[in-house]
Every structure is written in C-alpha cells, then in structure tokens.
C-alpha cells in the first residue's frame, strides 16, 4: 500500500521574517514614545499645580465658579466618580471652600452626611452642583425648608456670616454633601466660590510621571533608532553581496 506524503510547507524567507519583525519593533517603539509624551504632559501639569498653583497656605485650586438658583439651597456632593479612596484624606488632604454671597443676607455654608441633607431638604426646592455648575437640569422644585439651616443639628462643620466665608474640611468616611443657603432659608441663593485641597501626593505623582516619561522615551527612541539602523545595515549587506555575486563581464572584442 502506497504511503502518501503531504508537501512540506514553504519556508518563509529570512528577509520577509525580518521585515515583519521590524514593523512590530517600530510600532512598539513609537507607542513607547507616544506614552512618554503623555506622561511628560501629565507630569508637567502636576508639577505646575504643585509648584505654581499652590498658595501660601498649601492649598491647590480645584475650581472656581459662580452659582445661582432661585430655589432655597445649592447642594454639592463631596465625592464624585471613581473609587472611594480617591476622595479620602490621604489623597485629597485638608479641603477648603471659600464663598461670597452677592446678597445682603448672611450666607450659610455647612457640610453634613448626604442622607441627613436629603432628609432636611425633603420637599424643598434646591439645586445640585454638577461640574461646578448649576443648571435647570439639576434644579429640584419645591417649597422652603422647614427650618433655617443653623437650627439643624446635622452639620459636621458650618459657618454663617456676611461677606467672604471660609470653611475647612478634613475628608471622612461616608457620603457627605456641602450646602449653600441664605441664613434665613429664603430663596434666591447666589454665591461666588472656589474649592481647593492640599493634595499631599501631588509631588510624588509629578515625579513618578516624569520618571516614567524619561524611561519610556529612552526605551522607545532606542528601539526606533536600532530598528532603522538595522534596516540600513541589512540593505548595505544585501547590496554588497549582490555586487560580489555578479560575474565579471568581458568587454566585446577584447582579447581572451
């Protein structure tokens, strides 16, 4: 009985394998260089925030905004998107809120647990802060609160007066909200405020990103340069071998 044999798979030429490898190396090198640029931008921004934007009290600005509502309160969550540890005292550090009311009525600023704020403002009209803004989409209709804010015992920290107000806060476990109100619980709350925090890890973040940018930039540049030089060297060797393998031609009519 005859035994059939399958034909052997054609061998991939070495030159084609080298071209495929060179393409992969170039992609990896360029990706590392792009990653280095991204880290450099992030590290530069963090370094600027730490060295330039940090004030004499050690606070870094998180944002400034003008907030206004015709309702009775402006409420903002002290924890946004992302994991809980991102808003803890080890990352945020001490926080500071400064605000000035455009009204002659004293301004009240208080921080309480989110659930307690919800109970206090149940049925009342208020606006919530979204990306340092108050819009019609974040406004909840309702009547006035049952009591002025200072009569409530829910506040962990609070301040109330005319003119500029400053409230300091050290992040705690749980969900917390900050509330801006007229001290008499009247409608039409209008404040100009800014939020800032000490951000203890910021120098380490800046240094880490800059070091990562340097390492990935050097690695990416080395890979790209070595790959390009390898292509040039391979082309030179191929040309040299082609010249050597070409037989000498005798001119027509020359004596042999």
Structural domain ending residue among the three candidates 176, 197, 218: 197
Q: Locate tokens 């399958």: which residue?
A: 6
| 60-64-67 Cα angle (round to 5) | 150
Q: Is residue 237 part of a domain?
A: no
Q: Are residues 64 and 51 in the same domain?
A: no
pLDDT, mean of residues 80-102: 78
pLDDT per residue as tens digits for the range 233-253: 555 555 455 545 555 554 555
Describe the strand order of the beta sheet including 164-169 as a list of residue ranges: 60-69, 189-197, 95-101, 164-169
Collapsed DSSP state (helix, strand, coil) of residue 67: strand
Domain that includes residue 218, residue range: 18-57+202-227
Q: Is the predicted pLDDT of residue 84 greater than 80, yes or no?
A: no
Q: Are residues 113 and 193 in the same domain?
A: yes
pLDDT per residue as tens digits for the range 187-231: 999 999 899 999 999 999 999 999 999 999 999 999 989 888 865
Q: Are residues 90 and 191 in the same domain?
A: yes
Q: Are residues 134 and 45 in the same domain?
A: no
């Amino acid at each position: 009985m005859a035994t059939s044999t399958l034909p052997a798979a054609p061998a991939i030429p070495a030159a084609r394998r080298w071209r495929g490898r060179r393409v992969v190396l170039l992609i990896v090198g360029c990706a590392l260089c792009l990653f280095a640029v991204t880290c450099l931008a992030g590290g530069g921004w963090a370094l600027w925030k730490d060295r330039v934007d940090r004030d004499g009290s050690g606070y870094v600005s998180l944002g400034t905004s003008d907030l206004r509502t015709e309702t009775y309160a402006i409420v903002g969550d002290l924890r946004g998107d992302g994991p809980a540890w991102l808003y803890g005292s080890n990352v945020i550090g001490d926080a500071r809120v400064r605000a000035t009311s455009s009204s002659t009525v004293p301004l009240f600023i208080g921080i309480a647990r989110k659930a307690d704020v919800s109970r206090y403002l149940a049925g009342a009209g208020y606006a919530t802060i979204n990306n340092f803004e108050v819009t019609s989409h974040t406004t909840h209709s309702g009547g006035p609160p049952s009591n002025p804010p200072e009569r409530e015992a829910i506040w962990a920290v609070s301040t109330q007066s005319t003119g500029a107000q400053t409230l300091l806060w050290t992040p705690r476990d749980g969900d917390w909200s900050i509330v801006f109100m007229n001290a008499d619980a009247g409608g039409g709350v209008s404040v100009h405020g800014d939020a800032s925090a000490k951000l203890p890890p910021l120098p380490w973040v800046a240094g880490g990103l800059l070091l990562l940018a340097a390492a990935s930039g050097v690695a990416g540049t080395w890979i790209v340069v070595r790959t390009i030089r390898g292509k040039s060297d391979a082309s030179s060797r191929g040309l040299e071998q082609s010249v050597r393998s070409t037989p000498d031609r005798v001119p027509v009519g020359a004596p042999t």
